[in-house]
Every structure is written in structure tokens, then in C-alpha cells.
């Protein structure tokens, strides 16, 4: 079915059109700078401006307006995987609000809640818990967000949080070892732990490529355009520019590594018999030259760069593929 996936990032807005399926067929890939700088409107005025921007990108590129899928930033959401004694669907439906109250820090009257059973023990096995994913957001925020789209004549068919789109795009098999998925963007980094094909937890941090460029501006005295260029060209390569670019970028990259280590330690404290030896990087900043190697050396783990267009047909982009991970995950969702 023809579909449109929209990812509003603080660096750029990304829109991909194509046939939605487990393996989508790509029609158009569009990226436009986000001159507004915000990803979630704080008031109606901001919503109108962002809506207009999206409207003109869709219009200018003659993109279809059906089957539109959206992803919400992790920072706007509170997700939690809980383990509870096995319940039937009906029992769970009546218990879920009470569960949410304990785990989701949003007052009941403001809470828009979705939940999904991730796993159930085999019938008759009352020892094992069932795992349920709770996703909560503030009603006012979700309403403003969907109203922004309704205001430009778009009725979204799907609204999920970033990490789900990212994980789906990777198509990880249930047999894969515990994998930490890191979406390294411009002003946010989302980390989701996937174990046996299931999300165990998600963390989000205000880290990203903007801080890397800022470091180059401040440490080397580059202007913003040069900083962006040096970052992309030299990255963590110690042999370039007398290693000065690498040196300026290192503190921010080490900050990312500290957060990755925290996520891994958290998983291991909850799962003492499991080891996380694999990290998959996506998002525009994952392309920083030398990043995968740097993390491999620091953490002694296998670090892979996601390719959301691997084995995908149609008008696939040749560059900046990692930036379209969220859009690809949205298109891969079968509704």
C-alpha cells in the first residue's frame, strides 16, 4: 500500500514515500533542513509554523498524502517494560491503568496510554512472568501533535515512538544476541536494548551531532559551516589536521560512550547471565568517520553501522542512509 513516513528531526525533516511492507519499495526520499530548530511544538503558534513547513515539503515534492506514519521523540514519551504475573487479555485490560500509575510518571488524567504484550509464558506456567510494554505520553502533547497534522489536511494512521521505528528497521532476529541499538541524531540519542527480538528498555539523552560541531567551533575556532565540514570529513581520524579535530571531538564522543556503558551495565544488572557484545549505530551522526572503530576499541564490543536500505528496492539514497532509519521503520510497519 502506498505510504508516507515523516520524521521531524532537529537537524532535518525526513520524508520517505513508498509501498509499505516488511520490505518497502521506495519511491521518494526527501530531506529538508529544520530551520525552526524544534521537533515538538510547545504552543499553537509553533505548531502552525512546523505544520506549514511540512505542508510545503509535501507539496513541493508532490508526495502522496495517504497512509501517513509519524514517530514521536523518545523525550516526549515514557516507556517501560514491566514483568507481571500472567493475566488474560481481559484481566490485563482492567489492571493496566493501575500498573501504569506505578511506572509512568504522568498523572492519570493527563495520560495517553498504549500497551502491548511482549511475551507470555507457555500455558500453565505460572512461575514465569509476562512482559508488557507500557508507552505513555501527555494527552495535551499528543493532541497538539496530531492537530498540527490535521491542520494541514493530514490524518496520520500511525504514531509510535522513535525507538520502535529504529528497531523495526533493523529487522533483528529473535536468535540474535542482546543488542544495544543507538540512534545518534543531532540533539538527541536514543538507546534501546533488544533481547530475543524484544525491547528491554529505552533511554534517551540530549547528546548528538550538534554538540560535536559546537566543540569544533569552540576548540578550533571554526565557523559553523566549516565545523560541519571538518566533522564529516575528518571525524575521529588521528592522521588528519594534526589530530586536532579528533582531539576536539573526543570529550563529546566519550560522553556518548559513558551513556552506552551505563545502558549495558543496567541490562547486565537485570540479566546477570547475559552479555551485551553487540552495538548497532544509526542516525545521521553514526556516520562520523572513525566512530564505529573508536567505540569498538573503547568497549571491546562488536559495533555495526545500521543500513536501513539493505536489500531494499526502489529509489534508495546512496548517501546519508543512516539518517532515514526512523522513516524506514515506519514504512516497514504492516498495519
- Edge-first strand order for the sheet with 302-305 is 198-205, 189-195, 179-184, 278-282, 302-305
287 binds ligand ATP, rule: CB under 6 A: yes
Please state the closest distance from residue 49 (CB atom) to ligand ATP, in A: 16
161 binds ligand ATP, rule: CB under 6 A: no
Render 40-78 in DSSP notation, one character per residue.
S-SSHHHHHHHHHHHHHHHHHTT---SSEEEEE-GGGEE
86 binds ligand ATP, rule: CB under 6 A: no
Residue 168's binding partner, choosing from ligand ATP, Mg ion, none, with beta-carbon cut-off 5 to 8 A by kind? none
Q: Which of positions 223-282 make contact with ligand ATP (CB under 6 A)?
A: 228, 231-232
Rounded CA gap, 211 and 251, in Å? 10
CB under 8 A, 24+ apart: contacts of 45-54 = 47/144, 47/145, 47/147, 47/148, 47/151, 48/148, 48/151, 50/8, 50/148, 51/148, 51/149, 51/151, 51/152, 52/152, 53/13, 54/6, 54/8, 54/13, 54/149, 54/152, 54/154
Q: Whose grid coordinates read 489492571?
A: 95
Please state the closest distance from residue 73 (CB atom) to ligand ATP, in A: 7
Q: Which of positions 139-198 make contact with Mg ion (CB under 5 A)?
A: 185
Residue 165's binding partner, choosing from ligand ATP, Mg ion, none, with beta-carbon cut-off 5 to 8 A by kind? none
Q: Which region among 9-17, 45-53, 64-72, 214-222 touches ligand ATP (by CB under 6 A)?
A: 9-17
Measure the CA dihedral 161/162/164/167, to 10°: -170
Residue among 198 and 237 whose Cβ is closer to ligand ATP: 237
> Which listed residue (18, 41, 192, 284) binds ligand ATP by CB under 6 A?
284
Q: Which residues contact 301 (CB under 8 A, 6 or more apart)?
A: 264, 276, 277, 278, 279, 295
Is 8 strand, coil or helix? strand
Residue 86's binding partner, choosing from Mg ion, ligand ATP, none, with beta-carbon cut-off 5 to 8 A by kind? none
Q: Which residues contact 118 (CB under 8 A, 6 or more apart)?
A: 81, 131, 132, 133, 198, 199
C-alpha cell of residue 32: 529538508
Residue among 131 and 162 whose Cβ is closer to Mg ion: 162
Please state the closest distance from residue 9 (CB atom) to Mg ion, in A: 4
> Which listed residue (18, 86, 178, 208) binds ligand ATP by CB under 6 A?
208
Spatial contact of 136 and 106, defined as CB atoms under 8 Å apart: yes
210 binds ligand ATP, rule: CB under 6 A: yes
Q: Which of positions 173-192 make contact with ligand ATP (CB under 6 A)?
A: 185-188
Please state the closest distance from residue 262 (CB atom) to ligand ATP, in A: 19
Residue among 9 and 41 whose Cβ is closer to Mg ion: 9
Q: Which residues contact 311 (CB under 8 A, 6 or more apart)?
A: 23
Size of the site for ligand ATP (CB under 6 A): 23
Residue among 102 and 320 whose Cβ is closer to ligand ATP: 320
Residue among 116 and 320 whose Cβ is closer to ligand ATP: 320
> Which listed residue (3, 4, 8, 9) binds Mg ion by CB under 5 A?
9
Interface positions with ligand ATP (CB under 6 A): 9-12, 39, 185-188, 208-210, 213, 228, 231-232, 283-285, 287-288, 320, 323
Interface positions with Mg ion (CB under 5 A): 9, 185
Amino acid at each position: 500500500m502506498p505510504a508516507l513516513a515523516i520524521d521531524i528531526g532537529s537537524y532535518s525533516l525526513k520524508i520517505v514515500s513508498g509501498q509499505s511492507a516488511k520490505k518497502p519499495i521506495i519511491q521518494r526520499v526527501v530531506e529538508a533542513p529544520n530551520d525552526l530548530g524544534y521537533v515538538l511544538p510547545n504552543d499553537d503558534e509553533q505548531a502552525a509554523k512546523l505544520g506549514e513547513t511540512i505542508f510545503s515539503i509535501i507539496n513541493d515534492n508532490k508526495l502522496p498524502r495517504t497512509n501517513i506514519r509519524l514517530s514521536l521523540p523518545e523525550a516526549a514519551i515514557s516507556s517501560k517494560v514491566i514483568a507481571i504475573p500472567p493475566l488474560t487479555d481481559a484481566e490485563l485490560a482492567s489492571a493496566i491503568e493501575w500498573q501504569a500509575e506505578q511506572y509512568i510518571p504522568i498523572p492519570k488524567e493527563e495520560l495517553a496510554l498504549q500497551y502491548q504484550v511482549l511475551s507470555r509464558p507457555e500455558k500453565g506456567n505460572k512461575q514465569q512472568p509476562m512482559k508488557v510494554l507500557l508507552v505513555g505520553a501527555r494527552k495535551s502533547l499528543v493532541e497538539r501533535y496530531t492537530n498540527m497534522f490535521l491542520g494541514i489536511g493530514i490524518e496520520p494512521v500511525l504514531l509510535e515512538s522513535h525507538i520502535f521505528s529504529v528497531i523495526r528497521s533493523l529487522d533483528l532476529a529473535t536468535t540474535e544476541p542482546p543488542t544495544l541499538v543507538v540512534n545518534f541524531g543531532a540533539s538527541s540519542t536514543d538507546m534501546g536494548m533488544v533481547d530475543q527480538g524484544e525491547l528491554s528498555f529505552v533511554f534517551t539523552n540530549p547528546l548528538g551531532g550538534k554538540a560535536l560541531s559546537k566543540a569544533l567551533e569552540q576548540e578550533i575556532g571554526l565557523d559553523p559551516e566549516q565545523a560541519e565540514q571538518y566533522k564529516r570529513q575528518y571525524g575521529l581520524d588521528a592522521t588528519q589536521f594534526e589530530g586536532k579535530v579528533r582531539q576536539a571531538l573526543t570529550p563529546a564522543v566519550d560522553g556518548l560512550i559513558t551513556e552506552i556503558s551505563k545502558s549495558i551495565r543496567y541490562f547486565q544488572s537485570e540479566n546477570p547471565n547475559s552479555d551485551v557484545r553487540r552495538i548497532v549505530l544509526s542516525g545521521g551522526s553514526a556516520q562520523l568517520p572513525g566512530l564505529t572503530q573508536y567505540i569498538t576499541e573503547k568497549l571491546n564490543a562488536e559495533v555495526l553501522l545500521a543500513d536501513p536500505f539493505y536489500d531494499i528496492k526502489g529509489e534508495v539514497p546512496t548517501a546519508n542512509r543512516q539518517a532515514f532509519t526512523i522513516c524506514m521503520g515506519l514504512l516497514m510497519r504492516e498495519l
